[in-house]
Structure 1
Amino acid sequence: MLNFSLVGKFLPYMVKAAVVTIQLSLVSIIVGLVFGLVIALMRISKIKILSYIAKFYIWIIRGTPMLVQLFLVYFGLPQIGIELSPFISSVIALGMNAAAYIAEIYRGGILSVPSGQMEAAESLGMRYPAIMKKIILPQTLRVSVPSLGNQAVSMLKDSSLASLVTVSELMMVSQRFAATNYAFIEFYLVAAGFYLVMTTIFTFILHKIEQRLSISER
Structure 2
Amino acid sequence: MKPEVILHSFGYLTQAAGVTIAVSFAGIVIGFVIGGLVCAARVSRRAWLKRLGGAYVSVFRGVPLLVQLLFIYYFLAEFGLDVPAIVAAVGGLALSSAAYQAEILRGALNAVPRGQTEAAVALGFAGSEIWRRVLLPQALRISVPPLINEFILLLKASSLVSVVGIAELTRVSMNIASMTYRPLEAYVGGGLFYLAINLTLAGFGALMERRLNAGGAR
TM-score, normalized by length of structure 1?
0.95
Sort the Cα spacing of 1:6 and 1:79 in 2 relative to 1 into closer, same or farther, 3 A.
same
Query: How far did 1:39 drift?
Result: 0.7
Q: Which residue of 2 aligns with 1:176?
A: 175
Distance in 2, Cα, partners of 1:99 & 1:195: 22
Query: How far did 1:10 drift?
Result: 2.0
Q: Which residue of 2 aligns with 1:134?
A: 133
Q: Which residue of 1 aligns with 2:202?
A: 203
Distance in 2, Cα, partners of 1:32 & 1:180: 36
Q: Which 10-residue stretch deviates more, 51-60 or 121-130?
A: 121-130
Distance in 1, Cα, partners of 2:32 & 2:41: 14
Matches within 5 A, 1:116-155: 116-155=115-154
Distance in 2, Cα, partners of 1:217 & 1:6: 49
Matches within 5 A, 1:62-81: 62-81=61-80
Which runs of 5 or more residues in structure 2 are unaligned? none
Q: Is the contact made by 2:13 and 2:189 (CA closer than 8 Å) also made in structure 1?
A: no
Query: How far did 1:125 drift?
Result: 4.0
Query: How far did 1:194 drift?
Result: 0.5
Q: Which residue of 2 aligns with 1:58?
A: 57
Query: How far did 1:74 drift?
Result: 1.1
Which runs of 5 or more residues in structure 1 are unaligned? none
Deviation per CA, 1:23-76, whole angstroms, max 9, x where unpaired? 111111101211111111110100111110000011111111110011111111
Sort the Cα spacing of 1:77 and 1:128 in 2 relative to 1 into closer, same or farther, 3 A.
farther
Q: Is the contact made by 2:159 and 2:169 (CA closer than 8 Å) also made in structure 1?
A: yes
User: Is 2:11 the partner of 1:12?
Assistant: yes
Distance in 1, Cα, partners of 2:140 & 2:148: 11
Query: How far did 1:94 drift?
Result: 0.7
Query: How far did 1:112 drift?
Result: 1.0
Count of aligned pairs between the two proteins: 217
Deviation per CA, 1:116-166, whole angstroms, max 9, x where unpaired? 222333344433333212210110011111111111110110111111111
Q: Which residue of 1 aligns with 2:101?
A: 102
Q: Is the contact made by 2:60 and 2:96 (CA closer than 8 Å) also made in structure 1?
A: yes
What secondary structure sits across from 2:52 in the alignment? helix
User: Is 2:160 the partner of 1:164?
Assistant: no
Matches within 5 A, 1:35-46: 35-46=34-45
Structure 2: which amino acid aligns with 1:95?
A: A
Distance in 2, Cα, partners of 1:4 & 1:92: 36
Distance in 1, Cα, partners of 2:126 & 2:33: 22
Distance in 2, Cα, partners of 1:62 & 1:6: 39
Query: How far did 1:80 drift?
Result: 2.2
TM-score, normalized by length of structure 2?
0.95
Distance in 2, Cα, partners of 1:122 & 1:81: 52
Q: Which 10-residue stretch deviates more, 179-188 or 111-120?
A: 111-120
Distance in 1, Cα, partners of 2:124 & 2:85: 49
What value does the CA root-mean-square deviation take over the aligned residues? 1.3
Distance in 2, Cα, partners of 1:40 & 1:174: 37
Deviation per CA, 1:88-121, whole angstroms, max 9, x where unpaired? 1111111111111111111111011122222333
